[in-house]
Amino acid sequence: MLDSLSLDNKVVVITGGGTGLGLAMVRALARAGADLVIAGRRKGPIDAAANEVINMGRNALAISTDVSDSTQVDGLITKTLDHFGQIDVLINNAALVSTNVPKPIWDISDQEWQGAMDVNLNGAFFCSRAAAKPMADRGKGKIINVASGFGLRGGRDIYMYCCSKGAIIQLTRVLSFSLARYGITANTIAPGFIPTLSTDSEFRDSLPASGAFLPIGKLGQPEDLGPVAVFLASEASDYMTGEVMIVDGGGLAGGIAPTGHAPVTALEP
Amino acid sequence: MPILSEFSLSGRVVVLYTAGGDEGPLLAQALAEGGASVFVVARRQKTLDVVLAALGVGSHNGVASSLSSYADLSKVVDTFDLQYDRVDILVNDARSFFAKPFTEIGLDEWDELHARNLRSVVALCQSFGQRMVQQEYGRVVNLISVMAERGVINGSAFSSTQAGLLSLTRSLAVEWGGHNIRVNALGTGWTTADDIPLEVQRKELLVRYTPLRRKGNPRDIGPLLVYLCSEACDYSTGQPVYVDGGLNAHP
C-alpha cells in the first residue's frame, strides 16, 4: 500500500523552486524519486537546485520563468514537454513574499497591489491553464497550490498576501471540481509561519519572533513541507481533491493568540 | 521504489481502535507496513478477529472491549501493558453509522451513538494520551466522516458525533501541542471496501455527484494515515484532512 508514496518516473514542475519552501520541497521530491523542472526568476538558485537533484541521480531542468508573464509560463510547459514528454505534477509555489511589506491600505499603490496579484494569483492561474490541457490529454495529473494560513484568516495590513492566497484556495477548489472528469486532482498546502530568507526581509514585523504564540510552541521549518508535497504529488493522494492541507503548528486550530489561555471552571449544579 | 524515510513507523507502537466497519483491517495493514507494532482494540470480538487475521504474524495483539466503563478501560490498558511498555500512536476509528428522522430518535439511541462514536475516543485519549504527555511524544489520528462538515437528512445524530470528534481533535491539538503530541483528523466520504466496477458504482446518484466519480476505498487513506502517524507530521496539528473524492470542495 505504501509503494504509492514513491515518485519514481514522475515529472514534477515546481515554480519558485530555487529557494525557501520550494527548495525544501524539491529536495524531498527528488529523494522520493521524482524528476524535476525547477522554475524561478533568478538563474542562480534554480541552477543550483537542479544540480543538487542531478547529483541525487535524478533528472532536472532549470528554466528561468517569471510566472506573471503568461508567454513565459507557456514556454515553461512547452520546454518541459519537449524534454520529458509528460507532466505528472505541477506545484504552484512562486509568490512575492519579501516585497509584501504590511502597510496601511491608503499607502498601497496600484502597482504594489497589481504586482502581488500578478505573481501570487495570476502566476498560479497561468501555470494551471498551461499544464491542465496536456494533463487532460493524458487523462491524469496533479496540481498542488501553495497558499498560506493567511489565505484562511486575516492579518493586519497584509492585504495582497491574504487576498491572493485566499484566491488560490478558491482556484484549487474550482480546478478540482472542473478537472476531476479528466483525471486531474488539485489540492492546496497552507503553510503557517515558516521562516525563510524572504520572510526574514519582509514579514519581519508581522511574524512572531518565536513559536511562543503557536500551540506547538515552535515555528516550522521548510523541511516540514517536504513529506506533504510528496504525498500530494504521489498516487497515494489519488482520491483526494479540492482539499487544503494545513501545516501550521496548530495556529488555525487554536488561533494564534492568546495561546496559553487555560480556563478552569466547575460545572454549575 | 524510493520512499521517504520520514514516513517510517519502524519501532513505533500503535493502539488502533475500531468500532467495526470495513476499513479497520486495511488501516491496520497500512500501519504494520509502515513498520509499527499494532495493538487492536475492537468493540466486538468478531471485529478483533478479522483485524488480527488481516495483520497476520508479527508483534501485533489486541483486545475486544465496548469501552463503556472504567472497568472496561482498565482491562484494555492492562492487556496492552502485558505486551508493550510505551505507546507512540493512537488511531481511533469509532464511526458506527446511524440514521433516523430527527424527531424519532430516542434519547437513549442518541446517548448510545455518542457513547460509541465520541465517548469511547475520549476514554482512549485520556488513558493513552496521559502517557504521551508524560513521555513528551505522541501522535493521535481520529478517523471522521465528511458529515462532520455537512448536514444530511436523518444524519443529525451521526453528524454531531463526527463534528464532536473534529472539535475534540482541535482542542487536544492545542492542549497537548507543547508536549510534542500532534492530533489530527482523517476524514472520508462515501466508501466501500469492495472492489465494485466503476460502471456499477456510477448507477448511484451519490457516486455521480462525487467529483472523482467513484466511492473511496480504505486503500485510499492508508498512506495518509501513515504520514499523520509519522515523525514527519511535526508541524501539522489540529486539522482535518479529507480524502473524499472532492466532496468537500463541492457545493
At residue B150 the predicted structure's pLDDT band, cuts being 50, 70 and 90, is very high
Task: Calculate the dihedral angle through the C-alpha atoms of A113, A152, B248, B198, rounding to the nearest 10 degrees.
Answer: 60
The 3-class secondary structure across B51-76, one letter per residue, is HHHHHCCCCCEEEECCCCCHHHHHHH
Rounded CA separation A29/A7 (Å): 7
Chain B stretch 151-180, residues whose beta carbon is closer than 8 A to a beta carbon of chain A:
169-170, 173-174, 177-178, 180
How does strand A244-247 pair with strand A184-191?
parallel
Residues 6+ apart with CB under 8 A from B79: B61, B63
**Residue range A184-202, pLDDT digits in tens:** 999 999 999 888 766 654 5
For residue A259, pLDDT beyond 50:
yes
In sequence order, what are the residues at sequence separation of 6 or more whose Cβ sits closer than 8 angstroms to the Cβ of residue A79?
A: A37, A61, A63
In this prediction the ipTM stands at 0.93
Closest residue of chain A to B243, computed from CA coordinates: A240
Q: Which of the residues B176, B236, B242, B250 would you substitute to probe the A interface, choosing the one with the greatest number of A C-beta atoms within 10 Å? A: B236
What residues 150-189 of chain A have any CB closer than 8 A to a CB of chain B? 172-173, 176-177, 180-181, 185
The answer, yes or no, to whether residue B48 has pLDDT greater than 50, is yes
For the cut 90, the answer to whether the pLDDT of residue A260 exceeds it is: no
Distance from CA of A115 to the nearest CA of B (A): 29
The per-residue pLDDT for A201 is 47
Please identify which residue in the block is written with the cell numbers 483525471.
A183
- For A140-172, the DSSP string reads -EEEEEE--GGGTS--TT-HHHHHHHHHHHHHH
Rounded to the nearest angstrom, the gap between the alpha carbon of residue B184 and the centroid of all alpha carbons in its chain is 10
Instruction: Confirm whether pTM is higher than 0.90.
Output: yes
A256: its cell numbers: 494564534
User: Is B28 within 8 Å of B54 (Cβ atoms)?
Assistant: yes
Give ∠ CA A152-A95-A69 in degrees, rounded to 5.
Answer: 125
> How far is CA A269 from each of CA A265, A266, rounded to the nearest angstrom?
12, 9
Asked whether residue B85 carries a pLDDT value surpassing 90, the answer given is yes
Which residues in chain A have Cβ-Cβ distances shorter than 8 Å to B6? 226-227
Per the listing, cell 428522522 goes with B101
* Per-residue pLDDT, A66: 97
Choosing among A27, A240, A264, which should be mutated to test the B contact, i.e. which has the most B CBs within 10 A? A240
Neighbours of B103 (CB within 10 A): 6
List CB contacts (< 8 A) between A259 and chain B: 174
**Has residue A137 got a pLDDT over 70?**
yes
Residue B141, classed as helix, strand or coil, is strand
Side-chain half-sphere exposure of A188, counting CA atoms within 13 A: 28
